[in-house]
Amino acid sequence: MTDDRELVAMRGITKAFPGVVALEDITFSLRKGEIHALMGENGAGKSTLIKVLTGVEHPDRGTIALEGKQVQVRSPQQSQALGISTVYQEVNLCTNLSVAENIMLGREPRRLGSIHWKKLNALAEQALGRLGIDLDVTQPLENYSVAIQQMVAIARALAILAVRVLILDEPTSSLDMQETARLFDVMRKLKGEGIGIIFITHFLDQVYQVADRITVLRNGKYIGTYDTASLSRVELVATMLGRNLSDLHAVAQAKVEIAPKAAHACVAEAKGLGLKGSLAAIDLSLNAGEVVGVAGLLGSGRTELARLIFGVDAPDSGSLSIDGQKVERFSPHESLKRGIALCPEDRKAEGIVGELSIRENIILALQARYGWFKVLNTQKQYEIAAQYIKLLGIRTPSPDQLVKNLSGGNQQKVILARWIVTQPHVLILDEPTRGIDVGAKVEIQKLVLDLVKEGMAIIFISSELEEVLRISQRILVMRDRKKVAEYAGDVNDQTIMHTMAGDL
């Protein structure tokens, strides 16, 4: 039973950065023993609000109260001392250290002036045990999957003594269905212990599985707080977007218009392409003017397929032909010259260059194709940046804005712009909409179909089955790092899910 007493009360929170008001008179409350979803498009102000609550940013105006007592959160260290613990979307761990060291970092138990390793390992095991995870905490974190690393980050957050508020920012983005279900069990358990949980996610299904209430922000403004049970999914999406769902229907209609035109000339063909320990031999053909969707669970081989085709990894079996020419040398630079582009899964680590501007990020791939002895002049760079900022609707006051300061959705659009400007024949999109809002997802899906209309061939990899079905003419299903099925035409989500699970 949810305790109606407010655990957190934020009133009139306002925060401005140069050129933009990130938060304007925001209200937010969290109750004891409640899972409260914080929703909104990228750029809505969710991350800034969390940074204010955790002391990363200081509000220009407004008040914060914990259990009725007004506080000023000056730093992340102070927020932890107040019992506020956070797991951010981009997991920030030291993979060269052990699991236990990561969980207890900065809070290591000591004996006679040195770290008490036995106790440290025991406390780490206890924190993981709270999540139902049993693993060797003395092993380096880099030995474990991204999904396990995410769970370690959550265990680290829970290791803080007397946690009252747990903030989870996109905690399931790297988890498969079973791991997500396990996390939800843990969240419900913590809720039963009276901990208040702020849950930030773009997966609507997950919100309706675990959240008690939903607060929606839009363009830095407070839109409203709703009981989950009383707000339909359509109403939630419409509230987040500030508009109706006609865009989704436009995407569906665009796919219908493209379907008769699909299956033009074959631009890429893989025969028995594989790499031992990475991907079993796979056959794949890709036609101009076609979207081939790739569905599968985490670890099914989707990203490994993308890396082989783009040349990040070199296959040890089979062949790949582009426009009828067999590929002999595999490398990203060679792929770029052949007209193949890859938007990688991890936009932070492999996509954006945070310290460079939007303009500099957009022209990177084009400059690499030209070579460094044929430098694009500055005027041309600004012309290209302006064209693609407008084309993709990138929200920024200037092309000189550092890309690290953009929202996740806008960062994703910058990466897309970087590759579209090279005018590739084949565009591989690996999780292009992961961790971004509903509105940006729709915009990217519409862009994909517009590119296909112009004759581009696109491989679309996504964990969200709904969007794979929405825009793909054919769908490959991956499981255990091999292709297990291929569907063309009308196929429903139940068939795909049963195939992914191994039932078909």
Domain end, chosen from 241, 259, 291, is at 241
Decide if 1 is inside a domain. Answer: no
Buried b / exposed e over 438-454, threshold 16 CB at 10 Å, is bbbbbbbbbbbbebbee
Q: Give the mean pLDDT of 9-19.
A: 91
3-state secondary structure of 436: coil
CB atoms within 10 A of CB 17: 12
- Report the domain count for the chain: 3
Sign of CA dihedral 348, 354, 358, 361: negative
Quote the pLDDT of residue 44: 83
Are residues 185 and 102 part of one domain? yes
Identity of the amino acid at 254: A
Residue-wise pLDDT for 435-464, tens only, equals: 666 777 777 788 888 888 888 899 999 877
**What values do phi and psi take at 219, rounded to 5?**
55, 40
Decide if 321 is inside a domain. Answer: yes
Q: Between the ranges 17-21, 276-280, 320-324, where is the mean pLDDT highest?
A: 320-324
Whether the pLDDT of residue 341 is over 50: the answer is yes
Domain end, chosen from 423, 440, 458, is at 423
Are 299 and 457 contacting, i.e. CB atoms less than 8 angstroms apart? no
Domain end, chosen from 423, 448, 470, is at 423
Are residues 416 and 300 part of one domain? no
Please give the model's pTM, rounded to 2 decimal places: 0.58
User: What is the extent of the structural domain holding 447?
Assistant: 245-339+425-504
Residue-wise pLDDT for 166-194, tens only, equals: 999 888 766 767 778 888 988 998 899 89
